[in-house]
Amino acid sequence: MTFDAASGAVAAVAPTLLASAPAITLAVVAAGCFALAASLQHDAVDTVAVDGGGRLGLTAFRSLLRRPGWLLGLGAAAAGSALHAVALVLSPLAVVQPIGVLAVPIAVLLTVRRTRESPGRGVLLGVALCVLGVAAFVVIAANSTTSTRVPDFATLIAGGTSLGLVLVLVLVATLRSGWVRCVAYVTAGAVAFGLVSALVRALSLQVTTGLVGFTDPRFVATAAGIGVALAVGGWLVQQGFATGAPEVVIACLTVVDPIVAVLLGIVLLGEGPATDGLSAVVLVACALAAAAGVMSLARYHPDARRARAAARAARSAP
């Protein structure tokens, strides 16, 4: 990758699928790590007490820090994050981010193996929509994205926009219950993680093109923002584990995270100039299909059905 100071563009733009193969491979392995992490951490959260509102308090969270399963899940998540970060250095956000949706079918398989309960048609439909929607997204995006110089103000705008979205979603989560609360919490966490990916990509472009050094205040500030966003996103995802199934959590993460990251990449990091009008429409359609898959998975998952049945029984009880 070379930088043209006159045009502000990075050479070797519009990567093909073949050129992106190393990054795609790393992202696939990372997806497996994230699915394993979700399964392990959900099981651990299930063993600790949550408050009456279905939220994970500080006391319960401290007890998680002493549980090997949760710590193993944390290690798997860290490994996945490291692989994902390397992939982001190698290819644009629009190529790398959507691949994480492969964690959804992996998480479903892990749950089936653990519970020996076959998924219903609604769950399978949700998985299919997630995977097919994002797979098509990757194929189109891999041939229509570019890498450009990152404006200094872009990271500030990205951070402020993401913070506003997170606050709105947390408000929704506190006002609702059941699967809606789970989806709201995890979507907020996914927005934070999407910001992390965008900041990692921006920072890698700035460093590899020599625009900033490791002691530059802009590097330090962006790195600090990455750390804060990771912590906030991680906390919100744990709240999701307290109120929903691991497949629902991982589906929200792997659909919302890439959509947020890709939008930030296109709007703020300038990765979308090679995307024509038709490609943009198809990309939006793919994103909507994947989002519909998340809603189907959240609504028809066995855990969600059992929760609704229990609520109906409680209301009808004398």
For the chain, the domains span 18-316
With a threshold of 0.85, does the pTM exceed it?
no
Predicted local distance difference test score (pLDDT) of residue 147: 57
What average pLDDT does the segment 85-90 reach?
Answer: 83
Residue 171 pLDDT exceeds 90: yes
Pick from 244, 306, 264, 233: which is nearest to 81 by CA?
233
Per the model's pLDDT, the better-predicted residue between 263 and 125 turns out to be 125
Instruction: Provide the percentage of residues in the chain whose pLDDT is more than 70.
Output: 78
Considering 56-60, 169-173, 269-273, the range whose residues carry the highest mean pLDDT is 169-173
pLDDT at 304 (0 to 100): 62
Q: Which H or E element spans position 9?
A: strand 9-10
Dihedrals phi, psi of 214, to nearest 5 degrees: -70, -20
- Specify whether the CB–CB gap between 198 and 158 falls below 8 A: yes
User: Which comes out higher in pLDDT, residue 79 or 38?
Assistant: 79
Query: Which residues on adjacent β-strands are paired with residue 9?
Result: 4, 148
Length, in residues, of the chain: 318
Handedness of CA 214, 163, 234, 195 (dihedral sign): negative
- For the cut 60, the answer to whether the pLDDT of residue 9 exceeds it is no
Burial class (CB in 10 A: 0-12, 13-18, 19+), 128: middle
Taking the C-alpha atoms of residue 290 and residue 189, their distance in angstroms, rounded to an integer, is 18
pLDDT tens digits, 235-269: 898 888 887 777 778 778 877 887 787 778 777 76
pLDDT of residue 8: 45
* Rounded CA separation 197/175 (Å): 29
